Amino acid sequence: MDAFLDQVIQEHRSLVSRAQVTQKKDFVSIIMQLQKDGMFDNLTQDNIKAILLEMFVAGTDTSSTLLEWMLAELLRHPNSMKKVQQEVRSVMGNKSKVDPEDIHKMEYLKCVVKETLRLHPPAVYLPRRTTATASGKLGGYDIPSNTTVLINAWAIHRDPQWWKKPEVFIPERFENSSIEFQGQDFHYIPFGIGRRGCPGMSFGIASVEYVMANLLYWFDWKLPAGEAAEKMDMTELYGLAVYRKTPLHALAIPHSSF
């Protein structure tokens, strides 16, 4: 990864030095240009590599694991699968391509995304540290200054104090609800909170909705023969994100052949 990022930076550096950046304006070339314009003091090659690595790490597994959990939950809940698939197909009509305008009209799909993020937040622990000078009491505990606290989004999302039937997948709970991804609803924090909240949230949601709308539009989904929905292994595996311990196996049946 280190050698690869060096190479990517080198390629972009030569473009910037040849003033070709306007033709190839991507994330890396924008950082290079800002560096060239003197916007950052002491931005080293290592700093740039760290930024790029963070974008890859934070932006890829989170979205892909969310898609896998979503499809798994829909396979376990045929009524939700039917409802979301009907919505996607009726909004799409006979069009051959999903566009963002269509997705705005897929309200139930948005509820399915929200409910999957509630039960399976890809990033579980949100680390925060008290400032050097501040200390205080929280939930009856004394928190000294400079203490790192891990906020457990998974536990908060399943807290019966906030959620009815917290262990059950019910996308309808988000219908006509004002709960936002990064609002003031601290019992729902799949993208974190405050200034350290996920900067890729809009991109993450848009890409997941887009991929899911396509998967639901083009295919019907079934479990392989002999596998029962109620017996699916939903065990979680904690790593950079929270993955399925048993990868999902599903059969995609092209819708157009019906």
The answer to whether 80 touches 171, Cβ cutoff 8 Å, is: yes
Cα–Cα distance for residue pair 111/174, rounded to 1 Å: 5
183 near ligand HEM (CB under 6 A): no
Which of 122, 171 has the CB closer to ligand HEM? Answer: 122
The amino acid at 63: S
Contact between 50 and 71 under an 8 Å Cβ cutoff? The reply is no
Taking phi first (over 0 means left), then psi (-120 to 50 degrees means alpha), and beta for anything else, what does residue 104 get?
A: alpha
- Whether 9 contacts 45, CB under 8 Å: yes
Q: Does 66 bind ligand HEM (CB under 6 A)?
A: yes
Choose the stretch contacting ligand HEM; rule: CB under 6 A; options: 79-87, 140-148, 191-199, 223-231.
Answer: 191-199
Does residue number 193 form part of the binding site for ligand HEM (CB under 6 A)?
yes
Q: Which of 48, 123, 156, 242 binds ligand HEM (CB under 6 A)?
A: 123
Cα angle 192, 193, 198; round to 5: 50
What CA–CA distance (Å, rounded) separates 150 from 124? Answer: 9
- Taking the C-alpha atoms of residue 23 and residue 12, their distance in angstroms, rounded to an integer, is 12
Does 103 participate in binding ligand HEM (rule CB under 6 A)? Answer: no
Q: Is 58 in the site for ligand HEM (CB under 6 A)?
A: yes
The span of 7-15, 158-166, 171-179, 194-202 binding ligand HEM (CB under 6 A) equals 194-202
Stretch that binds ligand HEM, among 17-25, 61-69, 80-88, 136-144 (CB under 6 A): 61-69
Q: Which of 95, 197, 247, 251 binds ligand HEM (CB under 6 A)?
A: 197
Which of 15, 21, 63, 112 lies at the binding interface for ligand HEM (CB under 6 A)? 63
Among 200, 223, 234, 248, binds ligand HEM (CB under 6 A): 200
Binding of ligand HEM by 31 (CB under 6 A): no
Q: Is the dihedral of CA 156, 158, 164, 168 positive or negative?
A: positive
Backbone angles phi and psi of 188, in degrees to 5: -140, 100
Tell me the window of 51-59, 85-93, 99-107, 244-252 that interacts with ligand HEM (CB under 6 A). Answer: 51-59
Binding site for ligand HEM (CB under 6 A): 54-55, 58-59, 62-63, 66, 122-123, 126, 190-193, 196-200, 203-204, 208
